[in-house]
Amino acid sequence: MSQLVLAIESSCDDSSLALMDAKTYELKHYSKISQELEHAKYGGVVPELAARLHTKALPDMLEKISPFFSEIKAVAVTNEPGLSVSLASGVAMAKSISLALNLPLIAVNHLIGHIYSLFLDSKEEFPMGVLLVSGGHTMILYIDEGLKINILAQTNDDSFGESFDKVAKMMGFGYPGGQIIENLAKNGDEKIYNFTVPLLHDKRLEYSFSGLKNQVRLAIESLKNPMPKDYENIASSFQKTACIHICDKLEKIFNIYKFKKFGIVGGASANALLRSKIEQICVKYNSSLYLAPLKFCSDNAAMIARAAIYKYQKSEFTTINDIQINPKSKNFCIN
């Protein structure tokens, strides 16, 4: 009989459920309903709308896995960080399931979930360096032998993914902007616009994307009669500059830490240019590169289930009275 962990992810604008076998890591069920189209009209995520859509989607998705109920041994849910009302929808559902089916509850940090997207069907392999690039975060992490997470660099303002979202919005395109800008960039010439790489000659190991975003805004505003080619060229130059910025600081960190293993996670880790540039750095520093499958780079419950299994194996449970949502949580640790 399989020991299934049910995981719920609803920290932002994706409702997702997964059932994973705690012994074999086999993904027995996976479903995700993205709210992108609903939020696109507003150019970004509207929290109240997100919560309402989670409240509709999650029970519908749960109904479909009722045949598995007797095999579920624990229910896991993302409780931090994220949008408060979105997190609350998932946690409320997890509490109800825990009560109704008399199951232990596991609280999972969303960022640790992203790290586990590298090990969906295998044992985790720490120590390793990780670049986390999502809509809310841009961080270089070192997960050491004791599984302590050390933050080596992070952004001071916008995140990498968020800057793509904002550039797409400035051009009048939808949300999320990552894939839109990447697609535009494919047909553009990256040499037409000469955006300055942020903090290039600055020793600080940190990121900043707001200045680059403003350079792009000025370039867009200077267009008298914008043509599709202009947007393609701007997207291409912007994407190149943003990726150079990530890699410039990353290489400085590689020089210090000499990671033997390095992973890229988060929604924006799907970006092909970023992947190929980091691949070159890993080759240069003789480091093994770990990537999540493209389908599981963006928010999903499979990575939450996999992170939860680590806690399940150690019987690290919480209760319906103790579980809290921490929308702005900054502390995260695996052990």
Given the complex with Zn ion, which of 232 and 299 has the nearer CB atom? 299
90 binds, among ligand KG4, Zn ion, none (CB under 5 to 8 A by kind): none
215 binds, among Zn ion, ligand KG4, none (CB under 5 to 8 A by kind): none
Q: What angle do CA 129, 271, 231 make, to 5 degrees?
A: 140
Q: How far is the CB of 255 from ligand KG4 (least distance, A)?
A: 26
232 is a site residue for Zn ion (CB under 5 A):
no
270 binds, among Zn ion, ligand KG4, none (CB under 5 to 8 A by kind): ligand KG4
271 binds, among Zn ion, ligand KG4, none (CB under 5 to 8 A by kind): ligand KG4
Q: How far is CA 26 from each of CA 12, 21, 149, 309, rounded to the nearest angstrom?
A: 25, 5, 27, 11
The closest of 17, 20, 2, 94 to 310, measured between CA atoms, is 20
Cis-peptide, bond into residue 127, ω within 30° of zero = yes
Element (H or E) spanning 150, and its range?
Answer: strand 149-154
Q: Which span (24-32, 60-68, 131-139, 205-213) binds Zn ion, by CB under 5 A?
A: 131-139
Q: How far is CA 181 from each of CA 42, 216, 245, rounded to the nearest angstrom?
A: 18, 12, 17
Q: How far is the CB of 265 from Zn ion (least distance, A)?
A: 9
Check if the beta carbon of residue 254 is closer than 8 Å to that of residue 285.
yes
Dist CA 106 CA 135 (whole Å): 24
Check if the beta carbon of residue 296 is closer than 8 Å to that of residue 119.
no
User: Considering Cα of 7, then 10, then 96, then 104, what sign does the dihedral take?
Assistant: positive
User: Which chain residues interact with ligand KG4 by CB under 6 A?
Assistant: 12, 134-136, 161-162, 164-165, 176-179, 182, 266-268, 270-271, 298-299
Given the complex with ligand KG4, which of 129 and 136 has the nearer CB atom? 136
236 is a site residue for Zn ion (CB under 5 A):
no
Given the complex with ligand KG4, which of 176 and 198 has the nearer CB atom? 176
- Written as one letter, the residue type at 186 is K
182 binds, among ligand KG4, Zn ion, none (CB under 5 to 8 A by kind): ligand KG4
Name residues contacting Zn ion, limited to 133-152 (CB under 5 A): 134
Name residues contacting Zn ion, limited to 281-320 (CB under 5 A): 299
Element (H or E) spanning 33, and its range?
Answer: strand 27-34
Dist CA 247 CA 252 (whole Å): 8
Name residues contacting Zn ion, limited to 86-125 (CB under 5 A): none
Q: How far is the CB of 301 from ligand KG4 (least distance, A)?
A: 12
Give me the residues that bind Zn ion (CB under 5 A), please.
134, 299
